[in-house]
Chain A
Amino acid sequence: MTPVPHSVPTADRASPPPLPPRARAAHRAPTASGGRPRSRPSLRRRYARLGWLFASPALLVILGVTIFPIVFSVMMSVSHVTVLGGGFQLSGITGDNYAVLLRSDRWFHALGFTVVYTVVTVAAEVVLGTAVALVLERLTAGRSWMMALLLLPWSMITVISGELWDYIYNGVYGVLNAIVEPLLGHGVNVLGTPLLAGIAMGAADVWKTTPFVAIIVLAGLVMLPGDVTEAARMDGAGGWTIFWRIRLPLLRPTIAIAVLFRILQAFGIFDLPFVLTGGGPGDSTESLAMLGWRAMFQDLKFGPGAAVATSTAAIVLIGCLLFLKVFRSQVGNEEVGI
């Protein structure tokens, strides 16, 4: 989407993140390569070995439980999978599973729904989240209470928020109907209407996830250099101008991260449709993750299911690679340790 300017407060080890009390000490430290004389390669090698020793347990667990299954999933998606009584068998390489997808209206529909849903909800969350963050920033008293309140939906089990909104949207005794009926003259069966069901699900999602975006954006706001804004104010710039011309551009890297995180998370959405709409009415709110899971664990079609799952992951991966720059800017340059 937007290129990320590298100058803004991203990864620069020399000036560490906002930890005022320790900042002074850190400024003295960094000489050339981390303050270590370079004339001791054996020591460096020892530290490097230690680094691998420290990192490897975690990396092995991650490798075994996430990367290996992803590879396995890819293999499954290009094989004939036969489910037997006690197990299953992979045989031969085939493109059949993907051919099934490309011939399936249901897959195209799930793909379309997931894409539209992701774009719309994330857009809403980012706009609302930024607004909430601006409010929180200006709020002097009671900010931590507000944040605590906002963290409640975020920390909620999605299944529970699904049930809650299901009750709110109920076509007979839901509170939404009680609010809407006097206005329209009739009730609405929100979850029974394809488009409305999608919107209703998005609203539930926005309610739960906006706080997350707000927190990230607030973190970015807090770190903006105050003197720039102050200078603009001296020059007579109004609040809106300052926001649009100065603060928003400076916030762009932070917002880019929030958008990226949310897009990738939203793309794998499963819990909410599972509980709130069951993918319905019909297949209208069926996400890719749900379609893949159903194919595998309800219809036991592991091959096509794996193809759905793999293609979903592939789309996410492509998204990641497209935004590689944003990821890299988060990590910073290769650093030489101790």
Chain B
Amino acid sequence: MTTSTRSSRGRRRLFTGTHLAALLVALFTAAPLYWMVAGSLKSPRELGAVPPTLWPHKPTLNNYSDAFSHYGFATYLENSALVSVVSTVLVLLLGTFAGYALGRLPVRGKSNIMVVLLMISLFPTVAVAAPLYLLLRDIGWLNSYQGLILAYTAFNLPFAIWILRNYFLSIPKEMEEVAWMDGASPLRTVFSVILPQAKPGLFTAGIFTFVSCWTEFLLALTLNNSDRYRTIAVGIALFNGQFTIPYGDIFAAAIVSMLPVAILVLVFRRAVVSGLTAGAVKG
């Protein structure tokens, strides 16, 4: 990104202060994560050892099977996946049109709308929990997929519209003008001219939305409290056993639940990083 042409002041040392600092940052970030992975491979006895063992002496996968067999973790995983994926698709679909309209079309008062949307995306969820609970109860959508999907779609739309709109603003106009001139319908223009160019923006908005649905807790706890419809976050928070906290099982479940997002981030790291840096702030 930066093509910093450093003046040749002997900066080409192999290991510089920057590297040391980066190493420290990496260490601080990774250490707790390592502790979780190590913990997930330890037996309950080893998890409670004083002093703690630095690495699992007798690594076992029991925690992983326990998480699935004792705690219905598979159901939670399924629920989270379904709710997050459907919400993300809906957000991208509705958000694309709204973002395009608010970015490119002459909608009166659109900058006020954008300001309000930006504010809504930062509002504390607790403010809407009770009314939403009562509303969904009245239409019988508590403990359902569609209730949570509706809520997640609404809560993630503002920020997604924000990212997408900024992205659309950066796309040159000529192509869509040509499409208009050639008599392409508005829908057709959006789908075959705008969307292909907006892929990175869609990617960023999609990742943000997916992560935020995948990790959401308050609404999931409030709206879907029956075991059948629990998401991972709620499931893990309520994993606690009667006498002891089953850390091993929790960590095993945690790692499995982190995998999809972690793989996404690692494989697409360049796209994610450039998407986030371009989309997180208005350029």
Report A-chain residues with C-beta under 8 Å of the C-beta of B232.
157
Closest to B153 in A: A61
Report A-chain residues with C-beta under 8 Å of the C-beta of B229.
none
Report B-chain residues with C-beta under 8 Å of the C-beta of A17.
166, 169-170, 278, 282-283
CB distance from B132 to the nearest CB of A (A): 5
Indicate if the CB atoms of B245 and A166 lie closer than 8 Å: yes
In the complex, A106 has a CB within 8 A of chain B: no
Closest to A212 in B: B280
In the complex, A167 has a CB within 8 A of chain B: yes
Task: Indicate which residue in B134, B180, B217 contacts A159 across the interface (CB closer than 8 Å).
Answer: B217
Closest to A297 in B: B222
Indicate if the CB atoms of A309 and B130 lie closer than 8 Å: yes
Indicate if the CB atoms of A152 and B265 lie closer than 8 Å: yes
Report B-chain residues with C-beta under 8 Å of the C-beta of A151.
265, 269, 272-273
**Total interface residues in chain A, CB < 8 Å:** 128
Indicate if the CB atoms of A338 and B125 lie closer than 8 Å: no
CB distance from B197 to the nearest CB of A (A): 8
Q: Type the 1/0 row for A319-332, where 1 means its CB is closer than 8 Å to any CB of B.
A: 01000100110111
**Total interface residues in chain B, CB < 8 Å:** 114
Which residues of chain B in 231-272 are interfacial with respect to chain A, using CB atoms and an 8 Å cutoff? Answer: 232-234, 236-237, 245, 247, 250-251, 254, 257-258, 261-262, 265-266, 269-270, 272
In the complex, A139 has a CB within 8 A of chain B: yes
Indicate if the CB atoms of A135 and B236 lie closer than 8 Å: no
Which residues of chain B in 166-192 are interfacial with respect to chain A, using CB atoms and an 8 Å cutoff? Answer: 166, 169-174, 176-177, 180, 186, 190
Task: Indicate which residue in A72, A149, A175 contacts B131 across the interface (CB closer than 8 Å).
Answer: A72
Which residues of chain A in 302-326 are interfacial with respect to chain B, using CB atoms and an 8 Å cutoff? Answer: 302, 305-306, 309-310, 312-313, 316-317, 320, 324
Indicate if the CB atoms of B22 and A296 lie closer than 8 Å: no
CB distance from B57 to the nearest CB of A (A): 15
Q: Type the 1/0 row for B155-169, where 1 means its CB is closer than 8 Å to any CB of A.
A: 101100100001001
Task: Indicate which residue in A146, A271, A292 contacts B22 across the interface (CB closer than 8 Å).
Answer: A146
Closest to B49 in A: A173
In the complex, A117 has a CB within 8 A of chain B: no
The answer for the CA separation of A257 and B166 in the assembled complex, in Å, is 15
Task: Indicate which residue in B7, B151, B171 contacts A65 across the interface (CB closer than 8 Å).
Answer: B151
* Interface-facing stretch out of A52-60, A91-99, A191-199, A240-248: A52-60
Indicate if the CB atoms of A54 and B123 lie closer than 8 Å: no
The answer for the CA separation of A94 and B215 in the assembled complex, in Å, is 37
In the complex, A334 has a CB within 8 A of chain B: yes
The answer for the CA separation of A19 and B201 in the assembled complex, in Å, is 12
Q: Type the 1/0 row for B125-154, where 1 means its CB is closer than 8 Å to any CB of A.
A: 111111111110000000000000011011
Closest to A43 in B: B180
The answer for the CA separation of A132 and B153 in the assembled complex, in Å, is 33
CB distance from B171 to the nearest CB of A (A): 7
Indicate if the CB atoms of B236 and A159 lie closer than 8 Å: yes
Q: Type the 1/0 row for A214-245, where 1 means its CB is closer than 8 Å to any CB of B.
A: 01101110110010000001000000000000
Given A70-B123, A146-B25, A223-B283, list of 8 further CB < 8 A pairs? A9-B283, A22-B172, A62-B117, A157-B217, A159-B234, A327-B118, A328-B111, A337-B104
Please report A residues at the B interface, Cβ cutoff 8 Å. Answer: 9-11, 13, 16-19, 22, 25-26, 29, 34-35, 44, 47-48, 50-55, 57-59, 61-62, 64-70, 72-73, 76, 87-88, 131-132, 135-139, 142, 144-168, 172-175, 178, 207, 211, 215-216, 218-220, 222-223, 226, 233, 254, 257, 261, 264-265, 267-268, 270-271, 274-275, 288-289, 292-293, 296-297, 302, 305-306, 309-310, 312-313, 316-317, 320, 324, 327-328, 330-338
Please report B residues at the A interface, Cβ cutoff 8 Å. Answer: 1-2, 4, 7, 18-19, 21-22, 25-26, 28-30, 32-33, 35-36, 39, 47-52, 94-95, 97-98, 100-111, 113-115, 117-120, 122-135, 150-151, 153-155, 157-158, 161, 166, 169-174, 176-177, 180, 186, 190, 211, 214-215, 217-218, 222, 232-234, 236-237, 245, 247, 250-251, 254, 257-258, 261-262, 265-266, 269-270, 272-273, 276-278, 280-283
